[in-house]
């Protein structure tokens, strides 16, 4: 039976150096961001918006859930990379729709801020892995609660409280530190590097989208 990535404590796969491990994480993240950038540059957001919402969201969640399952349960790098791309592509469609609503300079500001926050949280995750490991369950519970509150506000009351965006930013800052700390606690293999990058990718993109929303309200 396959062991989920962050539960792995031993491995039969070749161990690589810390430098190679971090390089693969970085290159995998860059691949995902590059794919998203190419999608934003080359896909008309109106074409995405014209798709039936039910078909779009069913496809979106099906692709994401399959991708997460593949990269989190497989110990084969190629399978994990395929799973990663099954997450990157639907996220790219959402990113395309969102950034089309904002001025490019604001998008660049959100990218820069996301990068700075990500580096800072990775440093904290490396320095205080025990702390971040201890808040993992609290982060999950907080995120689920926020999702429920947002859905209730949106579909029942038709409103959105801006403070929730800040709460989500804090949660995903915590997740970046948490996932980076976990990435450094598991065996350093090529597959684990790809899996760790996939988890960090989702944290970073969610952080970016919320920061963009906050900055958009400011302007």
Q: For residue 91, is pLDDT > 70?
A: yes
pLDDT, mean of residues 64-68: 96
- Closest by alpha carbon to 66, among 83, 51, 49? 83
> Where do the H-state alpha helices sit in the chain?
18-42, 45-49, 53-73, 77-99, 104-127, 129-134, 136-152, 163-183, 190-218
pLDDT at residue 149, rounded to an integer: 94
Percent of the chain with pLDDT strictly greater than 90: 86
CA 135 to chain CA centroid, Å, is: 18
pLDDT at residue 106, rounded to an integer: 95
Q: For residue 5, is pLDDT > 90?
A: no
Indicate the average pLDDT of the chain: 93
- Residues of the domain holding 28: 5-218
Confidence band for 3, pLDDT divided at 50, 70 and 90: low
For the segment 124-151, what is each residue's pLDDT rounded down to a tens digit? 999 999 999 999 999 999 999 999 999 9
pLDDT at residue 159, rounded to an integer: 82
Question: 3 or 188, which is more confident?
Answer: 188
pLDDT at residue 4, rounded to an integer: 67
For the segment 7-45, what is each residue's pLDDT rounded down to a tens digit? 677 788 899 999 999 999 999 999 999 999 999 999 999
- How many distinct structural domains can be found in the chain? 1
pLDDT at residue 1, rounded to an integer: 39
Given a contact cutoff of 8 angstroms between Cβ atoms, the answer to whether 133 and 181 are in contact is yes
Q: In degrees rounded to 5, what are phi and psi of residue 129?
A: -60, -35
pLDDT, mean of residues 54-66: 96
Separation between Cα atoms, residue 208 and residue 107, nearest integer Å: 9
């Amino acid at each position: 039976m396959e062991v989920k990535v962050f539960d792995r404590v031993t491995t039969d796969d070749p161990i690589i150096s810390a430098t190679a491990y971090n390089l693969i994480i970085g290159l995998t993240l860059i691949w995902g961001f590059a794919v998203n950038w190419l999608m934003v540059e080359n896909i008309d957001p109106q074409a995405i918006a014209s798709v039936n919402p039910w078909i779009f969201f069913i496809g979106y969640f099906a692709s994401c859930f399959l991708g997460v399952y593949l990269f989190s349960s497989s110990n084969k790098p190629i399978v994990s990379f395929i799973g990663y791309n099954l997450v990157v592509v639907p996220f790219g469609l959402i990113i395309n729709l969102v950034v089309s609503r904002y001025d490019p300079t604001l998008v660049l500001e959100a990218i820069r801020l996301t990068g700075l926050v990500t580096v800072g949280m990775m440093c904290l995750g490396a320095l205080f892995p025990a702390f971040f490991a201890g808040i993992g369950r609290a982060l999950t519970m907080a995120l689920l609660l926020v999702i429920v509150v947002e859905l209730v506000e949106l579909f029942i009351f038709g409103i959105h409280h801006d403070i929730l965006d800040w709460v989500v930013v804090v949660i995903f800052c915590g997740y970046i530190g948490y996932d980076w700390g976990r990435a450094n606690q598991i065996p350093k293999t090529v597959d684990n590097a790809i899996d760790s990058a996939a988890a960090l990718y989702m944290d970073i993109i969610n952080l970016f989208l919320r920061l963009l929303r906050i900055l958009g309200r400011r302007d």
